[in-house]
Structure 1
């Protein structure tokens, strides 16, 4: 149901999310959605949390891959971001739509903050982590992704890398 909800958001936006549309996308009876979730906000929260957990796992994998090698970090993250807008554009748009919906729907705010808190922990390792630098990095990633999503053509790694490299050097 969670994957089906994300596909509905990807295709129709949040206004298209209903028990009926989720059920149709998942190939299940509409009553099944109502059985597991009390309301649409609950489905959206679960979908946003699932997306956050997927991103957290990806960040952890990436962190392990480039551990201790700052020179590899910016290119690796830049490639991940480029893939998000090139290979998984619809999913990325849907995730950001849910993320931004938290500004209007308080029920989604804890799920949206989960990404920020978890990503901060993944990036800011140890007690010497500069909280301001971590905040700047996450804000930069969000801004770059949003700008890339409205571009006529999805940008490649070369679009993301300079800003990320700058933050690594100065953060």
Structure 2
């Protein structure tokens, strides 16, 4: 019941709480370069989020959802964009991740498609190497592909 309630609340929040405008056409020629750089930076930061999993966690299916919020206005809007990541633990030290979703804005319908893997290794499984490739499709003014490579070292808590 708790899982169903969380899923229903998240679905309702996705329907009513997303805002962004990926278009460049509202700018004149002198502003378009800086605006394009701003929009592409925020978009690439948004899709570069990776699935981070505790090594001691033994769950086979991992679902991470939420929002990315950028506090400054871009195109006269405070950007709120959904995040939805799935992970499947293929073995004790290999996790396959993906993000496959789309949503509708006023003028665009971006689709986010990506996949990655996370490998845990080392003595006591303290090192994590992950790679993810994600793309935003369905926008009028640009397409974006992000490749993210991450190396993490976990530290054990000493009592």
- Could you say which TM-score interval applies, normalised by the shorter chain? 0.3 to 0.5
Q: Which has the higher strand share?
A: 2
- Relative contact order (alpha carbons < 8 A, sep ≥ 6): 1 or 2 greater? 1
TM-score (norm 1): 0.31
TM-score (norm 2): 0.33
